[in-house]
Structure 1
């Protein structure tokens, strides 16, 4: 039995060998499968060799030095002066007091890239911020002293100049042409290791980060670490499409999320820094709020897209154009406003004096509002008062009208929230808020507010810390009763 099995196995092996080695239909179909598949996979992988050879010399290392200095330390408590500090010291309270503190010399490193043959270099503002000395090192080991021509902290862009000629210049591409999934590469100096190359793909476009309202970041999975900041992000054509700026990390190192400033925006900022040493941004003069689905339902919208106007600054381009509180801005020119974050980016990219058209949803109808872009002069300041008497209301708030002095201070009329609970608190109403309007109607008394709370919901416009937000509140059946 065993012998028969061995003979059968041998025969099967010989048969298999004959099938593979004998020319014929079976052999022709089976043989090329593996090598052809491997060749196809290999052909699809990107080749960065030429990109690095051609562009590596245009990437520089930037070393910065901050000299040792003495700084005045504040007192432990705000507003405490030397006389009050002496009283605490006399009675032996262990409270740290103000004084001078010496900060030792600090050194750092970053990256940059050459954009003109006579020595213009772009990098991040945070790389050269407060630097007393800047040393730019090229790939051929030459070193030059750098001078900052201008920085813009809001977009994290800086332009540095070195005295040199015939430098290798990188090609500038278009970040607007990038697609999610496209291969990209970064060259920089992570941890001071010059001309380090890493690669990945574009993970997302126009990514809004909470700390940056003017930059629609390019998100990638390219490995970026401390020292990469200010270095270029390349597409596969060898063109610069971004400036590596930030990473998301809980460890301090790369975790798969890196963010680059789009080169289209960076070059606009660069032009202003070179010409004027500073950046002037467009300005409309509206306070805006993100649309939630609940707010969208309140305004009769199908999807929560757009920027909800909560306040118009006096004398602003928005006021002159006729914009109103409760308008929902959906377009600036032909560019969509998908969220409240995207509007400041679009407006700031325009120059003061430019004329534009805002597409607005007002009273559930779409209208076009012409506006002349102004100059950004900072945020308006407003404050609210505090006081005593209260009135109860079914919303779960204790409220009272603002005094004349409080109205002047807050630059509004309305009802001051003394205490928030129940439906109001759950919906986000806080003590100290000022209820300006309900369902688009100004409220100056408890009766004004109560009159608007007769349906299934009420849409409140609330002023808080100088800004305004809309708060929708849905009533339960028992609350209405």
Structure 2
């Protein structure tokens, strides 16, 4: 005999099950206390810049019609005007020091800081650093509310973070999310290991603080990646540890000194790793060492793969500028490199990053006849003295033709300069012929090429007779 369960008990059971399956509602953070404790230390920053007018090719256009001629300014006179921009910042000392982004105050003639109590004060630019996109301001005021500075080193992927700023001028806007990645490199940003988050950041948030759940500032909101100009889930903050080091230098000297080696580097892929004797892709491959640079004095060579620097492992090439930049110029650092399949430890003097990023040496050499490098599928000729001088190279051969073969499969193109092959210098076409006789069969070897201003290693493989793959 079956027992019937009353419908009301089934209903109670299902309700209880639904309640127990709620997605950890009790563990979600409550940000209200954090915001109340810190919002008064976040400021809105506005700047004014006087833009001089330009004399065009024609007559001045009346203001009423000017919007019809947007994009044609070169043809008309334009009057002087005031350009405005807005951003955020936060107070780091009771006597009025404020941290923000460099791009918020760049070229500003006047900087105004608006406090939460509605006061508007003109700020002095104490110092700025374009490389890290940071600027230090000061206002004449006392007993100001301040933020608590934390440590970005303690951040873990998945941790909750919160931003306060003024996107589109809406002051005291609060957004929250999680840390998506740490130590992230962005194109053209060599010296900042960014914190990536999914916190909603929009124009006007720049320079505002990023808080952890303890109410400590761990970053400065700086950039977004967007196809629309607005937030798309990718926002980036400058780590506070790095920022406070910049602040210290700006307060003491008004400028920032960074470590510098004087090398051009690239990532290591699987084929290059094999050609350099690495068990996996890792490190920063040195494609070029600038003459008279700290790297040259320390014995670093093109073709070295930097695996460790100053005690830190280098997993990707983008890490090396961050690590070197933190080293105090004038000190010595230890570098571990892979060279000819062996680990080599070097003592490298670290210089100071020059404003021009260093200069390349420019020497000339003698020309020699054209040669075909058939095992690679190349035709090469010597570089002229003028070409060497223009490119700043003291060796290499110019590739005039690329046929199906190892070179084309590696990505070598007509017009590239072949500088080294299997870690041997290619001084001229005759030297290349000699190197070709020593290449191992069915093994990956590195080739250093110069394409325009960019040196780059490529991995190529010379197959034994009968093993070559068809490219048809």
Give the alignment's TM-score, normalised by structure 1: 0.84
Kindly tell me: are residues 68 and 286 of structure 1, through their superposed partners in 2, closer, same or farther at Cα, counting changes over 3 Å?
Answer: closer
Deviations 1:153-200 (A, max 9, x none): 121111111111011010011001000000000000001000000000
1:334-345 paired onto structure 2 within 5 Å = 334-345=311-322
Question: Aligned to 1:463, which of 446, 450, 453?
Answer: 450
Question: Aligned to 2:398, which of 396, 406, 416?
Answer: 416
Matched, 1:179 2:156: yes
Deviations 1:265-315 (A, max 9, x none): 111111112222221111122222211111001111121110111222222
| Contact map agreement 1:311 1:467 (CA 8 A) in 2 | no
Deviations 1:25-73 (A, max 9, x none): xx9x8886555555x8232010101100000000000011122412478
Larger mean CA deviation between 376-385 and 175-184 belongs to: 376-385
The residue number in structure 2 matching 1:474 is: 461
Aligned counterparts of 1:400 and 1:480: Cα–Cα separation in 2: 25
1:269-284 paired onto structure 2 within 5 Å = 269-284=246-261
Kindly tell me: are residues 431 and 42 of structure 1, through their superposed partners in 2, closer, same or farther at Cα, counting changes over 3 Å?
Answer: same
Matched, 1:439 2:416: no
What SS does the aligned partner of 2:146 have? coil
Matched, 1:392 2:372: yes
Larger mean CA deviation between 61-70 and 158-167 belongs to: 61-70
Matched, 1:357 2:344: no
Aligned counterparts of 2:87 and 2:346: Cα–Cα separation in 1: 45
Question: Aligned to 1:65, which of 29, 41, 48?
Answer: 48
1:208-287 paired onto structure 2 within 5 Å = 208-287=185-264
The residue number in structure 1 matching 2:412 is: 429
| Contact map agreement 2:369 2:382 (CA 8 A) in 1 | no
Tell me the C-alpha RMSD between the 2 structures.
3.0
Offset at 1:340? 1.3
Kindly tell me: are residues 62 and 297 of structure 1, through their superposed partners in 2, closer, same or farther at Cα, counting changes over 3 Å?
Answer: same
Aligned counterparts of 1:106 and 1:348: Cα–Cα separation in 2: 34
Kindly tell me: are residues 107 and 271 of structure 1, through their superposed partners in 2, closer, same or farther at Cα, counting changes over 3 Å?
Answer: same
Offset at 1:388? 11
Kindly tell me: are residues 97 and 164 of structure 1, through their superposed partners in 2, closer, same or farther at Cα, counting changes over 3 Å?
Answer: closer
Kindly tell me: are residues 12 and 329 of structure 1, through their superposed partners in 2, closer, same or farther at Cα, counting changes over 3 Å?
Answer: same
Offset at 1:333? 2.1
Question: Aligned to 2:382, which of 401, 406, 409?
Answer: 401
Aligned counterparts of 1:20 and 1:307: Cα–Cα separation in 2: 64
What SS does the aligned partner of 1:225 have? coil
| Contact map agreement 1:384 1:406 (CA 8 A) in 2 | no
Aligned counterparts of 1:100 and 1:412: Cα–Cα separation in 2: 49
Kindly tell me: are residues 421 and 242 of structure 1, through their superposed partners in 2, closer, same or farther at Cα, counting changes over 3 Å?
Answer: farther
What SS does the aligned partner of 2:335 have? strand
Matched, 1:53 2:18: no
Larger mean CA deviation between 170-179 and 376-385 belongs to: 376-385
Which stretches in structure 1 are left out of the alignment for 5+ residues? 1-10, 22-26, 75-94
Aligned counterparts of 2:122 and 2:101: Cα–Cα separation in 1: 17
| Contact map agreement 1:242 1:260 (CA 8 A) in 2 | yes
The residue number in structure 1 matching 2:110 is: 133
The residue number in structure 1 matching 2:81 is: 104
Kindly tell me: are residues 71 and 357 of structure 1, through their superposed partners in 2, closer, same or farther at Cα, counting changes over 3 Å?
Answer: farther
What SS does the aligned partner of 2:53 have? strand
Aligned counterparts of 2:56 and 2:334: Cα–Cα separation in 1: 50
Deviations 1:247-269 (A, max 9, x none): 11111111111111111111111
Deviations 1:345-400 (A, max 9, x none): 11111111122111111222222111121111213246799999643332333311
Offset at 1:464? 3.8
Which stretches in structure 2 are left out of the alignment for 5+ residues? 58-71
Aligned length: 442
Kindly tell me: are residues 165 and 428 of structure 1, through their superposed partners in 2, closer, same or farther at Cα, counting changes over 3 Å?
Answer: same
Kindly tell me: are residues 72 and 182 of structure 1, through their superposed partners in 2, closer, same or farther at Cα, counting changes over 3 Å?
Answer: farther
Kindly tell me: are residues 70 and 426 of structure 1, through their superposed partners in 2, closer, same or farther at Cα, counting changes over 3 Å?
Answer: farther
